[in-house]
Amino acid sequence: MSSGLRWEDARAAAYAAGLAAALRPAADVELAACTGRTLAADLPALLPVPHYASSAMDGWAIAGTGPWQLVPAGTGLRPGQAAPVVTGGLIPDGTDSVLRSECGTAATQQLELCPGTTERELAAGRHIRPAGEETAAGAVVVAAGTVLTPAHLAVAAVCGHDALPVAAVPRVALLLTGDEVVTSGIPAPGRVRDTFGPTLPAIIARFGGQVAGSRRLPDDFATTAEAIADCGGDVVVTTGGTGTSAADHLRRVLDADGAAILVPSIRMRPGHPALLARLADGRPLVGLPGNPLAAMMALLTLADPLLAGMTGRPPAPLRTVRAGTALRPLHNQDRLVPYGLAPDGGAVPADHIGSAMMRGLAAADGVMVVPAAGADPGQRLPALDLPW
């Protein structure tokens, strides 16, 4: 097996592969169905927001100095007149400002100031939300590549949109290998419970993909080759079989397929045997190691940036954390370490973070990337957020 790419280079290669395999944008999708989808084009405001001058308070629209003669709501004002207005209500023509209901008293047909009301309450434009205060017509309000939240949909609705152009959701075919894997109950010695079937669809959905099919395979060359050829999908994700033992067939299958190996392996622990390939038919294939934590680190390194590129969103940003303890070096390999935050805010390795263990990741606040040279206490390290 090749010594592989550096972690950051593998991540960049996966994003580039995603851009190269990007899907055509789907047809516009109704607002209510857009949460979690990736916006395919910049979204402009179709009108100024707000599109009319409105009141920021319940009270009266006033013109000139008081006392003011009251006129019906919505009536255009002349100096010395006032009209009732509610929060969000249309400001009548001729209005100078809005007097809050707490600052005035209306008796019969006349409005007067309450004692103690300051001049500030009468300043021109007071409590008026001008048209276009939030955005001008034509301004971009949500950028292409944004993963849409309910708040974005509210902005889109206010800006006049009924549907949005969103990137197509990549269909992911899952191929789960391992003769030793059982899917329920207490495994016998030599057998292990399946951790991928219950978890990968949800994680892939967080990355912007959708599992379109899942198949369990024995450790067999011919069956693996047939499954990869026939599984369909826009992306193939496999588990296990990425090593070089007699029971590991994936690399030999890819060689027979004529696949281009984009990431032969990664100089990181755990997850070193992970790989990324482009099949002869053009579909990307992510090969995850069989150990659960190693597979999760490979998902963050390869599958997340790949699907980001395919859907037009930027790769997940790296942030930094402060090492809360000394972290040992590891020759020529970065380490992806699930961490928790100590009381002083420093990042310390979680317990139970062997490549086959999941307890540490389940309790972690994120994953820090420890360089091959290790790290001293207080050193700033890149870190990834978890997708849940």
Q: What is the pLDDT of residue 260?
A: 97
| pLDDT mean over 230-240 | 95
Q: What is the pLDDT of residue 162?
A: 97
Q: Is the pLDDT of residue 179 over 90?
A: no
Q: What is the pLDDT of residue 184?
A: 86
| pLDDT mean over 233-262 | 94
Q: What is the pLDDT of residue 25?
A: 79
Q: Give residue 3's pLDDT band: very low, low, confident or very high (50, 70, 90).
A: confident
Q: Are 39 and 164 in contact (CB under 8 A)?
A: yes
pTM (two decimals): 0.84
| pLDDT mean over 59-74 | 94
Q: What is the pLDDT of residue 194?
A: 86
Mean predicted lDDT score pLDDT of the chain: 94
Q: What is the pLDDT of residue 183?
A: 83
Q: What is the pLDDT of residue 1?
A: 47
Q: Give residue 210's pLDDT band: very low, low, confident or very high (50, 70, 90).
A: very high
pLDDT in tens, 73-113: 989 999 999 999 999 999 999 999 999 999 999 988 999 99
Q: Give residue 187's pLDDT band: very low, low, confident or very high (50, 70, 90).
A: confident
Q: List the domains of the chain with CATH numbers.
A: 7-24+168-311 (3.40.980.10), 29-47+140-164 (3.90.105.10), 54-129 (2.170.190.11), 319-384 (2.40.340)
pLDDT in tens, 139-169: 999 999 999 999 999 999 999 999 999 999 9
| pLDDT mean over 280-298 | 96
| pLDDT mean over 357-378 | 96
How many CB atoms neighbour CB 56 within 10 A?
Answer: 15
Q: Is the pLDDT of residue 281 over 90?
A: yes
